[in-house]
Amino acid sequence: MRSPPASGTSGRARVPNIPSTTIGRHVATNGSGSSVLTVNGEQVTVTAAETTPLIYVLRNDLGLKGVRTGCVIGECGSCTVIADGHSLRSCQISLGDAAGMDLVTPEGLGTPDAPHPVQEAFLSEQAGQCGYCINGMIMAVAAAVDAGTIAGEEDARKALEELICRCGTHTRIVKAALRAAGVETEDAGAHGSVERLPGAEADAQAGLPEIVDRYPRMEQWLRLTQEGYVEVDSPKVELGQGISGALRQIAATQLGLPMDLVTLAPTTTGRSVDLGHTAGSNSVEHGGIPLAYAAVAFRRALLERGAALLDAPASQVELTAAGVVRPGTDAAVSLAQLATGEPLTGAITAADVPDWTAAGLGAPLPRADLVRKLTGAGVYLHDLELPGMLHARALLPPSYDAQVATEPDLQQIATAVGARRILRDGRIFLVVAEREDVAIRGVNRLRDAVRWSYDGPDEPVDVLSLLRTLDGDDHQTRLDDGIGEAFAAGRTHKATYSKPYEAHAPMSPSASIGMADGDRLRIWTHSQSPYPLRAELAVLFERDEDAVVVVHVEGPGAYGMNGADDAAALAALAAFAVPGEPVRFQHSMDDEFGWDPYGSAMVADLEASLDENGRIVGYRHRSWTDTHYARPDGNGDRLLVQWLGERGPGRPRFGGHEGGWRNTVPLYDVGARDIVTRHVRGPLRTGSLRSLGSYMHVFEIESFMDELAELAGQDPVAFRLAHLDDERGRHVLEVAAQTAGWEPHVGPSGRGQGVAFARYKDVKGYAAQVVDVRVDPESGTFTVTRVVVVCDAGTVINPDGLRNQLEGATIQSLSRCLGESLTVTTRGVKERNLSDYPLIGFSGIPRLEVVLVDRPGYPPLGTGESATPPLAAAVANAIDDALGVRLRNLPLTAASLERRLLELSEAEMARVRL
């Protein structure tokens, strides 16, 4: 480790674009509703009410979209600007109060072509997943660097502590802050390595993927533009997982062209292939693999056309960045020349087999999309500005059961606040205005004026007890012969585990833009489901599917189904009210939390039978869960507009069950199995949250494996290996144990190290994690200090992109398992904002070490969620190893440790090491 420089400014980058004086700026209102601001060194005049929050002035009046809109209550830091040399949340100051300050926005720091040194530091570290929070981080770091307050890692964490990153990019952000400050330390952030195993031959006999059968023509996947670029129609949408880069990398390597000659067009219904939802860690498998076949076919077509134009046999030409060339001669035809004439078309054949060992795969390419995201460009749906665009905001009921008791005079309120109009659809009120801040003001006025009635009092709900009592559908995943005998003969052990309801808690409330033109509707959305959303909207608004076009534009990370689809339907509702004019709708954070399709609470009872050799011979599993699937599917009954509007009185329809029993079958040989999941309809609207039911099922299975190992008198790693035949699974476990310095032990060792393993969905990437915890013996509180993550995802497309995903999934999972939980009452949830919901901060981030097991030639496996499920069990196992206290209910907090200590039996107390 290199020593950080002594405090002071030695070795630190300056922040040259921040004005250092206050001369020449200024002025407040001039009496005519105009204010003069100094922004990025220039004076600008703004016509708006003095009370308008600065964030709306910067974003909407001045078009400075690098100031991201987030919580808008001062909690997240996305909107941070530098004011008089200090970082300032622009949602927390009015236009009038800002008029005397020198303001710098991300656009004032640098540009995509000429990034500021702090922006460069973030780009060098690839510090971003969805990237939505990063401009705020950059501004806070720039101010701290300029003030000379970052001399080491603790300083960097302190400068960032009050900012939120929901994707879990914390380690890279800290590294970037240190790099920007000129502080070099190997301890900051994540570390990683790649273990490259022998490659596998491409299998030409394997046949075409099923998705290629559905979209068998190359022109359905890619095309040559007149400018000489190969344009891929994105089959999956970018969620911050870096799929846009991976798709370009896959296409480029199979075409044999440099990546900068391959571009990606956004997923648009009617033009892109319809691969349903971007979810379930399927993007590379379902989108990338078929694209690779299409790219091989396209390369063949390019060579054939080039050979014809060069009048040469196809076997004597090559495809290069210069086009199709004839080696050894000057003969060449450029890609732009190849694009003249008829578009290249043709079938993808079984001979168009991708080469998964091609040069360029496995290369750590920087994400091109981060350049604009991290240098202030308006790249998100929230930033999209269409000519003449109006703004809409909603007043929704304060709870599921609230009914409108008294409706005020809507026209009067619209006139009073200067809104274009206010419309009511059932329990939805929509304010449409020319200015966003006016729409918000209208909603605030409405909130004061509308009176609601409720079905009953607001009372707490004991969720875990309730779930067991509800009627539901049982799904028997396994019932093996011999289950009765297995339990009759062996020594049995039982345990019950649980998880709470959790929120998606995105960095910004969901948004969408709608535009209606007669019967036709165009929607811009950050939904993960462009085609299913189109089908849903068509039914909901009684239009032909062909009359609805859905265009994907990136948004802040969603981590499942959040409010994006609801926002699209609300934008459509607003758009039909003002035909011919584009309307941007955005949820409030209160509604994003209050109407979220939450991750379901779950309970599970596990029971196992051990034989005299300590081998598991029988396994019973009973679990209770609400649905993990509520995405739009074309029935018109999944979204808020249907639920709360006039179109239907019902809650969104109960979704499918697969997510509830996902990963319930252990990968281990556990003898005879009896596994049942009951799907119930709980008190809250639920849907998909990252890794769905796997998060809970891996927590319970991997915690239980540790409990059984101790009963069997075996080391937790050895016990797992003794029950695991899958070679790839064994390998990641062994590498994780070795990397973490695992010391075999039976029962609590006092060291505070825990292990867990899973193969996500039983078919995706393998991941093993080893966690170290440190316990404060005085308070009983614990801190996760280190996490080793080992992942086998088959062929690694982009190691740094994969590592970034694994880091994010690990930190986000840590946030969930250490604190995230919703308080349920008869009226919904208590937590209605980021300030109510305990997301992990920079002080709680452990050292991360990521090892990738690269298997060139093996099909790439989805890994967006692989590192999410094992983490909670690894933490619980580490706590047990440290303290001798088994925590079985998520989240794992100091309070839950205290509760657990009070309920321990005498025998359990004998293990406690406090």
Closer to ligand FES at the Cβ: 80 or 769?
80
Q: Which stretch binds ligand FES (CB under 6 A): 122-130, 432-440, 481-489, 657-665?
A: 122-130
Q: Tell whether residue 53 is a contact of ligand FES (CB under 6 A).
A: no
We find the least distance from the C-beta atom of residue 593 to ligand FES, in angstroms, to be: 14
- Return the residue of 57, 64, 81, 130 that touches ligand FES, per CB under 6 A: 130
Neighbours of 451 (CB within 10 A): 11
Scanning 127-135, 509-517, 592-600, 751-759 for contacts with ligand FES by CB under 6 A, the matching segment is 127-135
Within 836-855, the residues that bind ligand FES by CB under 6 A are none
CA–CA separation, 170 and 809 (whole Å) = 11
Query: Binder to ligand FES among 19, 128, 192, 245 (CB under 6 A)?
Result: 128
Query: Which region, judged by CB under 6 A, interacts with ligand FES, from 71-79, 300-308, 851-859, 900-908?
Result: 71-79
Q: Which of 91, 303, 550, 818 binds ligand FES (CB under 6 A)?
A: 91
**Residue 133 binds ligand FES (CB under 6 A):** yes
Secondary structure of 93-133 as H, E, C letters: CEHHHHCCCEEECHHHHCCCCCCCHHHHHHHHCCCCCCCCC
Q: Is the dihedral of CA 790, 791, 792, 796 positive or negative?
A: negative
- In the three-class reduction of DSSP (H, G, I as helix; E, B as strand; rest coil), residue 661 is classed as helix
With contacts defined by CB under 6 A, name the span among 126-134, 626-634, 681-689, 883-891 that binds ligand FES: 126-134
Q: How many whole angstroms separate alpha carbon 315 and alpha carbon 502?
A: 58
Q: How many CA atoms lie within 13 A of 314 on its CB side?
A: 7
Buried b / exposed e over 801-834, threshold 16 CB at 10 Å, is: bbbbbbbbbbbbbbbbbbbbbbebebbbbebbbb
Nearest CA among 890, 466, 478 for reference residue 673: 478
Among 169, 512, 609, 815, binds ligand FES (CB under 6 A): 169
Backbone angles phi, psi at 747, to 5 degrees: 70, -175
- Name which position in 129, 642, 868, 893 contacts ligand FES (CB under 6 A): 129
Query: Residue 408: CB partners within 8 Å, gap ≥ 6?
Result: 446, 449, 450
Cα separation of 563 and 542, whole Å? 22
Residue 167 sits in the site that holds ligand FES (CB under 6 A): yes
Cis peptide bond upstream of 869, omega within 30: no
- Residue 6: what residue type? A
Q: Per rule CB under 6 A, is residue 106 in the interface with ligand FES?
A: no
Q: What minimum distance in Å lies between the beta carbon of 130 and ligand FES?
A: 3
Q: Taking the mean position of all CA atoms in its chain, how far away is CA 1?
A: 33
Do 866 and 842 touch, CB atoms closer than 8 A? no
Nearest to 796 by CA among 756, 853, 850: 853
Tell me: does residue 557 bind ligand FES (CB under 6 A): yes
Q: Does 70 bind ligand FES (CB under 6 A)?
A: yes
Q: In the bound complex, what is the minimum distance in angstroms from residue 366's beta carbon to ligand FES?
A: 15
Secondary structure (H, E, C), 346-382: CECCCCCCCCCCCCCCCCCCCCCHHHHHCCCCCCCHH
Nearest to 131 by CA among 56, 27, 240, 41: 240
Which residue in the set 25, 59, 65, 89 belongs to the binding site for ligand FES (CB under 6 A)? Answer: 89
Per CB under 6 A, the segment of 20-28, 129-137, 344-352, 390-398 that binds ligand FES is: 129-137
- 166 lines the binding site for ligand FES (CB under 6 A): yes
Beta carbon nearer to ligand FES, 397 or 557: 557
* Coil, helix or strand at residue 803: helix
- For ligand FES, the closer CB: 89 or 638: 89
- By CB under 6 A, which span of 162-170, 385-393, 399-407, 762-770 interacts with ligand FES? 162-170
Asked if 75 touches ligand FES (CB under 6 A), the answer is yes
Q: Does 76 bind ligand FES (CB under 6 A)?
A: yes
Q: Do residues 499 and 691 touch, judged by C-beta distance below 8 A? A: no
Strands 583-586 and 86-89, by their bridges, are unpaired
Instruction: Give the nearest distance from C-beta 39 to ligand FES in angstroms.
Output: 17
Q: Which is nearer to ligand FES, 317 or 505 (CB)?
A: 505
* 79 interacts with ligand FES by CB under 6 A: yes
> Looking at beta carbons only, is 58 or 483 nearer to ligand FES?
58
How many residues in the shown chain lie near ligand FES by CB under 6 A? 26
Instruction: State yes or no: residue 125 binds ligand FES (CB under 6 A).
Output: no
Query: Contact residues for ligand FES (CB under 6 A)?
Result: 69-72, 74-79, 89, 91, 128-134, 165-167, 169, 240, 507, 557
